[in-house]
Amino acid sequence: MRPTSAAEEKGHAQDFRRSKGSFAFLALDGKFVSPLYASILKISQPQCQTLTLLSQAGLHLVPKGQDRRNRSYTKSNNIAFCGASLVSLRHLITAAHCVTKRNSTTILSTPANQWFSPLSYLHAQILVRLGKPFLGEGKGALQEEILVDKILTFGTGWDILVHDIAILKLKRPVAFSPAVQSVCIPPPNIKLAAGTKCVAVGWGETETTSDPDALMEVKIPIVSTAVCKNHSKYVKEGFHVCAGEEGKKVWHGDSGGGLYCRLCQNDRQWYLYGVISFGTTIDGPSVFTYVPRYTEWIHRHVLD
């Protein structure tokens, strides 16, 4: 991945728009495209973002009993472990494998479709950092630092290898700003054609470094499921979406971050089309959880 320059982010303050409420509209060319969710239309909600980096968050594990204020949040001390995407004032979407425990033989079950505490299951707190493009202390302006209150996974146990998606609920709402915005949730079951260019975001490895300190983004094309299955037997139609090309893919450490796509050529909004899940072969595409499959589930629990 490559870092986005300040010049590329120029003008984001002018693009920032918000209103009261807590959930991003499903906006497509300025029109609402979510007839299934009449309740959403009764709530005044913020516009979702027009830039790709503003909803990306870093997740940091704080072991039980440790004071988060006395830690340096870098990868070298194994605290920065995953990414996530802000979808409302209090909710983020990440990969389920980022927030589940496993041993040598199995994945320890979570309460499927039931909220649970990070302390009760992980025996640790999860700290979310927003609006900070660098992992190291003292680099970049930190906008928000909030602990996760509850976690919700769609599946449990080995199911998370297919349903690799989780919702994080924060202990308090974020304060939206020009540097912190939410990303749109796409309409249910919408499919983008192979070749559609999207953007993946994360702090993972690159071809030149195993420990990048800056938030990176890479523009990659959607790859058909048929082609993707040639690189991994674990890819499942309707559950996964693949993206990437030679020299451009996500790497170790990017898990849980977003694959952001525009749904049509003239659309200014970015949608969370995928969640970074796993890799395939060295020359193969990356695999993402297909978010439109879970749109109703996300709405049901984020609006709860």
Check whether 203 has a pLDDT greater than 80: no
Note down the domain range covering 131: 2-12+51-182+295-302
Element (H, E) at 60: strand 56-63
**How many residues would you count in the chain?**
304
Tokens of 84: 């996530």
pTM comes to 0.78
Confidence of residue 283 (pLDDT cuts 50, 70, 90): confident
Position 172 in a domain: yes
77 domain-assigned: yes
Does 20 map to a domain? Answer: no
- Residue 39, in any domain of the structure: no
Range of weakest confidence among 72-86, 191-205, 253-267: 72-86
Is the Cα torsion angle 149, 105, 230, 163 positive or negative in sign? Answer: negative
- Whether residue 244 lies inside any domain: the answer is no
Tokens of 5: 């320059």
DSSP 114-146: S-B-HHHHTSEEEEEEES-SBSSTTSS---EEE
Alpha carbon 283 to chain centroid, angstroms: 24
Q: Could you report the per-residue pLDDT of 45-82, keeping only the tens digit for each?
A: 345 655 656 778 888 888 765 554 544 444 434 345 78
Gap between the Cα atoms of 115 and 134, Å rounded: 30
- For residues 47 and 18, give the distance between their C-alpha atoms in angstroms, rounded to a whole number: 5
Q: What is the mean pLDDT of residues 246-263?
A: 79
CATH assignment at residue 107: 2.40.10.10
> Does 66 map to a domain?
yes
- How much is the pLDDT for 261? 93
- On whether residue 223 sits in a domain, the answer given is no
Q: Is residue 114 part of a domain?
A: yes
Residue 14 has pLDDT above 50, yes or no: no
DSSP H or E stretch at residue 302: helix 295-302
| The total number of structural domains that make up the chain | 1
